Amino acid sequence: MTATIRNPSVVIIGAGMTGILMTIKLRNAGITDIVVLEKKESVGGTWRENTYPGAACDVPSHMYTYSFEPNPNWSHFFARGPEIRKYFEHVANKYHVKRDIRFNEAVTDAHYDEGKWTVKSSKGNTYHADFVVCATGILHHPKFPDIQGIENFKGKMFHTAQWDHSVNIDKNTKVGVIGTGSTAAQAIPELINTGADVSIFQRTPQWLMNLPDFRFSDAMKSLMTTFPIISKIHRNTGKFFLEHVFTKAVTGHFFQKHFLQFMCKANLRLSIKDKILREKLRPDYQVGCKRVIINSTFYKGIQKENAHLITDAIECITETGIQTKDGKHHDLDVLVLSTGFNPFNFMRPMNLTGRNNLHIDKAWDKKIKAYRSMMLPDYPNFFLMLGPNTPIGNFSVIAMSEVQGDYVVKMIDKWRNNEFDEFEAKPEAIDEFNAYVKKGLKGTSWVGGCQSWYLDPDGDPILWPYTWGRWVKEMQEPQMQHINTQSFEHTHSKHAV
C-alpha cells in the first residue's frame, strides 16, 4: 500500500519580504492550508514601517528582488523605500498572497503540544497548525535611548522608524538627530536639504563607502523589460561584487579586506575638506567592524553651513533641547531618534512556548542561538526565518530567505511523506553549530574592537563568518543527523491529499 502525501496546515507570522516569499514557496510545493498573520494593515514589513526621508536599500536594486520576479522598473541603482514597498505589494497581488493574509492580526501566543501548534491572535482568534514559520524579521522593534530627561522634551520627537510626516521641517526649524548609523546617514542629508538648522549628535563615527547611485533612464527600463537578460546581468554583477568583494572583505580575506579599507579611508579623505571635521568623522575601529554604510550623500550634507556635527556626549535632554557635557545647550524644535533597533527580539514579544511549556525567554535566558539560524530544541515543527547568525556581510536578505525557504520546504516534504511527524534540532547540534560559527569569527572584521548591533550580550557577533557560497552549500540539504525526529502512529492518516 502506497502511503498518502499529507497536506499540512501552516501558520506564517508576518507578511513582510519573507512572509510573502514563504507563502509562494509553500503553495508551489502543493501546500494549500496556509494562514498568514500580519500585525499591520498591509504587506511590506520594514519597508512599510520605515518611511523616513531618504529611505533606500544598500543592496543593488536588481539584486534586491525575488529570483523568480525581476523588476525592470527600478528608478536607481539603489532602490528607494517607497518603490521597494510597491514591489512587494506587486508581488503579493500577482501571486494572490493576500487571500491567505489576516491583516491587523498580531500573534499574541503560540504554544506546541501533542504534535500541534495552537496560535492565538490579537483579535481573539485561535488557529491550529502542524507548522509555524516565524517571518517576523530582524530589525523591527525600535530602540529608544536611555537619556536623562528624554520625557521632558516639549517639541516634536520621534524615532526614524516611526517618522511623523505631520511635522513640517523647513528653514525655520531647529532639528536634532541622535545617531549616525545607516538610517541617519540617509535621513540627515534630506533634513539638511530642507534648509533646517540640523545638529547631529554623534557617539561613534561610521565608515562610509561611496558607490555610484545612478538613475536608470526610461530607455534602459524599456530595454530591461524587452530583454530580461539585461536586468539579470545587473543582478549577477551586484551579487558578484557583494559575494566576492564585500562579504569576503569583512570575513577576513586579505586582498578584499585591504581593498575595502582603502575605499572607505579614501572616501573620507577625498570627501571631507576640513581637517577638523574629517577627524571627527574618522572611526577608531577596523573597517567592517560595524556595518559599512553605502552612501553618497552624507559627507556632502554634513559640510553644509546649516549642518553641525556635535561629538560631545549628551548630558541630558531638556524641555527645549539637548544639554551636552561641555556645558552647551542646543535649542531644538524637533528631535529625531536614529538609535536603531533591538536586534535580539526576533519573534518576541509574542508568548512563544514549546514542549513542556518552555517559554522562549527561558530557552534563550543564557544565549540566543538556533541551529542553522532556524530551529530550536523543544520547539518542534517550528522555523525562525533570518534568525541568529543569518546576516551575511552586506548581502541581500531576500537571497538569504530564498535559501532558507528551500530548506523549510525540504523538511516539510519529509513530514508530508510520512518520514516523521515531529522534528527539532538536537541540543548538541546547536552547541556544535555555535562553536563552528565562533571559530570562524576569529579574524573577521566584526571582532575589530567596536560596539555594534551585531554583538549579543556576551559580545559575540550574531553573523555568519564564512562566505556566501559556503552558506548556500551547507543549506542545500538538511543534515538529519543533527535533528531529532519522532513519529506518532495515530497521526499518519491526517490531512491526506
Q: All 3 cell numbers of residue 205?
A: 563615527
Residue 235 placed within a domain: no
Tell me: do 301 and 175 sit in the same domain.
Answer: yes
Range in 7-11, 150-154, 288-292, 400-404 the model is least confident about: 288-292
For position 495, what pLDDT does the model report?
A: 37
Which of 337, 352, 378 terminates a domain? The answer is 337
Residue-wise pLDDT for 223-257, tens only, equals 999 999 998 888 888 888 887 777 777 777 778 88
Tell me: do 106 and 61 sit in the same domain.
Answer: yes
Range of the domain at 40: 9-141+342-491
- Written as one string, the DSSP assignment of 20-66 is HHHHHHHHHTT--EEEEE-SSSSS-THHHH---TT-B-SS-TTTSS-
Which of 337, 360, 386 terminates a domain? The answer is 337
Question: Given its phi and psi angles, is residue 379 left (phi above 0), alpha (psi -120 to 50 degrees) or beta?
Answer: beta
The SS3 call for residue 383 is strand
The proportion of the chain whose per-residue pLDDT surpasses 70, expressed as a percent, equals 94
Domain count of the fold of the chain? 2
C-alpha torsion 85→90→95→101, nearest 10:
50
For position 493, what pLDDT does the model report?
A: 34
For position 99, what pLDDT does the model report?
A: 96
DSSP state of 142: B
Residue-wise pLDDT for 25-37, tens only, equals 999 999 999 999 9
Residue-wise pLDDT for 44-79, tens only, equals 999 999 999 999 998 889 999 999 999 999 999 999
Tell me: do 104 and 35 sit in the same domain.
Answer: yes
Crossing angle for the helix pair 218-226 and 228-241, nearest 10 degrees?
A: 100
Which of 298, 322, 337 terminates a domain? The answer is 337
Q: In 278-425, where do the E strands start and end?
A: 293-294, 307-310, 314-317, 321-324, 329-331, 334-337, 351-353, 382-384, 422-425
Residue 267 placed within a domain: yes
- Alpha-carbon gap, residue 49 to 54, rounded angstroms: 14
- Alpha-carbon gap, residue 362 to 353, rounded angstroms: 9
Cα separations in angstroms, 217 against 324, 438, 495? 47, 45, 52
Q: Is 211 exposed, middle or buried (0-12, 13-18, 19+ CB in 10 A)?
A: middle
Q: Which of 20, 85, 19 is nearest to 52 (CA)?
A: 85
CATH code for the domain of 465 = 3.50.50.60
Tell me: do 201 and 80 sit in the same domain.
Answer: no
Tell me: do 381 and 414 sit in the same domain.
Answer: yes
Is residue 393 a contact partner of residue 246, using CB atoms and an 8 Å limit?
Answer: yes
Q: All 3 cell numbers of residue 325?
A: 557635557
Higher pLDDT: 287 or 460? It is: 287
Tell me: do 46 and 120 sit in the same domain.
Answer: yes
pLDDT for 2 beyond 70: no
Exposure string (b/e) for 378-400, b if CB count within 10 Å is 16 or more?
A: bbbbbbbbbbbbbbbbbbbbbbb
Q: Phi and psi for 245 in degrees, rounded to 5?
A: -115, -65
For position 488, what pLDDT does the model report?
A: 83
Tell me: do 62 and 210 sit in the same domain.
Answer: no
Tell me: do 423 and 365 sit in the same domain.
Answer: yes
Q: Which of 317, 331, 309, 354 is nearest to 188 (CA)?
A: 309
Tell me: do 192 and 137 sit in the same domain.
Answer: no
Range in 90-99, 160-169, 459-468 the model is least confident about: 459-468
Tell me: do 358 and 481 sit in the same domain.
Answer: yes
Residue 120 placed within a domain: yes
- Alpha-carbon gap, residue 366 to 368, rounded angstroms: 7
Tell me: do 433 and 287 sit in the same domain.
Answer: no
- Residues contacting 20, CB < 8 A, separation 6+: 43, 88, 91, 92, 95, 97
Tell me: do 207 and 310 sit in the same domain.
Answer: yes
pLDDT for 457 beyond 60: yes
Q: All 3 cell numbers of residue 335?
A: 528631535
Is residue 209 a contact partner of residue 356, using CB atoms and an 8 Å limit?
Answer: no
Residue 36 placed within a domain: yes
